Amino acid sequence: MKLTTAQIGKCGELFCQFSLLKLGIESAPMTTDSGIDLIAYSKGEKKAFTIQVKTCHQPKPAGGRGRMEINWGIPADCPANYVALVDIQTSRVWLFTILEFAEVAQKKPLGRICFYMKTDKSAPPRKDGKPHHDYDFQKFLLENAVPRLGL
């Protein structure tokens, strides 16, 4: 059965909420989509924060014929504090501050910030030296990011 885009997005939001709750962070969805998907609360830090969740269902060939990758994009003016990237196929969530996301993004077309991770381990490194394999972003995996960010 093929999932719709809305179903994929909702899967990502719910999986992100589940993953946050496993780490002791409460969260709730927004009623409407205003660039913020979840409001979360960290009891440890006694603070609330906002999250934009982006979800990828499965890897696709880069440019239609290249190496397999997962990718996400957000508007350049995203109002959230954090961006959560969900890969449904591998049940992984990465969490970036909005500034970190902009720094690691490989493409920035007008009005957007686009980010990808190669899932093909044999993909060569980028010529500019920027990380782009999924294993390059371990510190951003949710279970590593929450303590690193003090949430």
Res. 44: pLDDT tops 90: no
pLDDT digits (tens, 9 = 90+) for 48-91: 999 999 999 998 888 888 888 999 999 999 999 999 999 999 99
Structural domain count of the chain: 1
CA–CA gap between residue 39 and residue 36 (Å, rounded): 8
Half-sphere exposure in the Cβ direction for 63 (13 Å, CA): 3
- Compare 36 and 119 and report the one with higher pLDDT: 36
Q: What is the mean pLDDT of residues 8-36?
A: 94
Domain of 50, in residue numbers:
5-146
Q: What is the mean pLDDT of residues 92-96?
A: 97
CATH number for position 63: 3.40.1350.10
pLDDT digits (tens, 9 = 90+) for 103-132: 999 888 889 999 999 888 888 878 787 777
Tokens at residue 123, please? 């993909």
Domain assignment present for residue 151? The answer is no
